[in-house]
Structure formats: C-alpha cells, structure tokens
C-alpha cells in the first residue's frame, strides 16, 4: 500500500513529457497520461461536436489509441497537451465526417459554461447589462453551432479551453498570425449570426 502510494505520488510529480518517455518504455504507464486528460478531452469533444455519452467516448478512445500508436512521433519541442488536443480535434472531425454531420447541436448541460462564454465574448459584442449577458450566453452557445468548424474550434480553444495563441497554433497547425486573424474573424462571424438570430 505504501509502495503503491509512493508510486502514485511519484507519477503525479512527473510532467506529461516525462510520462510520455515512461510510456514508451513501459506501455502500462500510458494509463496515467490518459487519466490526466480524460475529463478535459471529453469536455473538449463535447464543446467541438456536441457529442457526449457513448459517441464522445468513442472519439476519445480513438484519440487515445492514436496517441499511443504515435508516441514515437511526439515532438519534444511541442507541449504534450497541444499534441493530444490536435489528435482529438482531428478524430472529432473525422468522426463527424464519417457520420456526415454538418451542423452540431450543443446541448445545454446546465453548467456555467454558457455564462463563461458570455462573460468572455459579451464585451466584444458590446453588451453591458448582467441580465442580458445570461440570456446572451445561451444565444452565443446556439450561434456557435452555426459557425464553420475552424471558427468554432478557435473560439472554443481560446475562450472555453483558455489556450494561449501559441498553443492554438500548435493544435490547429496554423501560423500564429493566422490564429489571431481567425479569432477576430470568428468573433465577427459570431456577432453576425447572433444579429441574424435577432438577439441584439
């Protein structure tokens, strides 16, 4: 028990990159890496595609398997989180493409995600009052589903996953300058969609 606890506490201190090295030597260490990322990536898949439950888990399972098989392709100059987010995004897109899903439906799961989204985006959309922000959060969530996949992804990564521009560039395989431009265009497009939905 003591030895198990000390192994666990040792694993907790390892960085992702160190866990990758350990997983290459001993495949059983990979589960620790997966456990670190399982909840965040399930949430990420849901934010990108609206899929959760068995569908979301299928996508995540494929992502983890691909990550494991490509461990020797991991570039040490990259953050592991950027790399696994990239793989998960690609798997999500492939999954949606195979199911020929063009628009996604983001169900309201009752958490404060809508409010968080409204908080971060509402100032750009020029909304002042707190009450309006709560309603707007729900509308923003619905408007997101109408955006192109790249625009939706970049807004989710920036405002919900709270990734830095460099991380977003690594996840989406885009130049940094393009990320900034894309975020700006995505916000404008979101604003346009919201106006068309007769919100503001």
CB of 38 to another protein, least distance (A): 5
Q: Which is nearer to another protein, 2 or 72 (CB)?
A: 72
CB of 130 to another protein, least distance (A): 38
CB of 70 to another protein, least distance (A): 6
Q: Under the rule (CB under 8 A), what is the footprint of another protein?
A: 24, 27-28, 30-31, 34-35, 38, 42, 57, 60-61, 64-65, 68-73, 75, 169, 173-178
Task: Calculate the dihedral angle through the C-alpha atoms of 111, 144, 46, 81, rounding to the nearest 10 degrees.
Answer: -100
CB of 197 to another protein, least distance (A): 34
- Chain CA centroid to CA 19, Å: 21
Which one-letter DSSP state was computed for residue 200? -
Q: Which is nearer to another protein, 31 or 195 (CB)?
A: 31
Q: Which is nearer to another protein, 71 or 135 (CB)?
A: 71
Minimal CA–CA distance to 183: which of 136, 133, 121, 138? Answer: 121
Q: Which is nearer to another protein, 4 or 28 (CB)?
A: 28
User: Which H, E and C letters describe 137-157, residue by residue?
Assistant: HHHHHHHHCCCCHHHHHHHHH
Q: How far apart are CA 146 and CA 105, in angstroms?
A: 9
Q: How far is CA 32 from CA 2, 3, 40, 86, 161, in A?
A: 18, 17, 14, 19, 21
Q: Which is nearer to another protein, 2 or 69 (CB)?
A: 69
CB of 12 to another protein, least distance (A): 16
């Amino acid at each position: 028990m003591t030895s198990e606890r000390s192994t666990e506490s040792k694993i907790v201190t390892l960085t992702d990159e160190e866990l990758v090295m350990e997983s290459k030597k001993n495949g059983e260490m990979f589960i620790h890496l997966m456990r670190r990322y399982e909840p965040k990536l399930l949430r990420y898949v849901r934010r990108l595609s609206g899929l959760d439950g068995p569908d979301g888990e299928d996508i995540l399972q494929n992502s983890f398997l691909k990550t494991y098989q490509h461990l020797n392709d991991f570039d040490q100059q990259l953050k592991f989180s950027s790399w696994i987010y990239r793989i998960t995004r690609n798997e999500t897109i492939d999954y949606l493409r195979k199911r020929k899903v063009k628009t996604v439906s983001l169900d309201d799961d009752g958490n404060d995600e809508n409010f968080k989204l409204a908080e971060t985006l509402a100032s750009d959309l020029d909304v002042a009052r707190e009450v309006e922000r709560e309603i707007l959060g729900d509308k923003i969530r619905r408007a997101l589903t109408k955006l192109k996949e790249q625009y939706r992804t970049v807004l989710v990564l920036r405002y919900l996953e709270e990734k830095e521009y460099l991380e977003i560039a690594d996840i989406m395989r885009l130049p940094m300058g393009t990320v900034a431009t894309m975020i700006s265009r995505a916000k404008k497009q979101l604003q346009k969609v919201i106006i068309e939905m007769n919100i503001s």
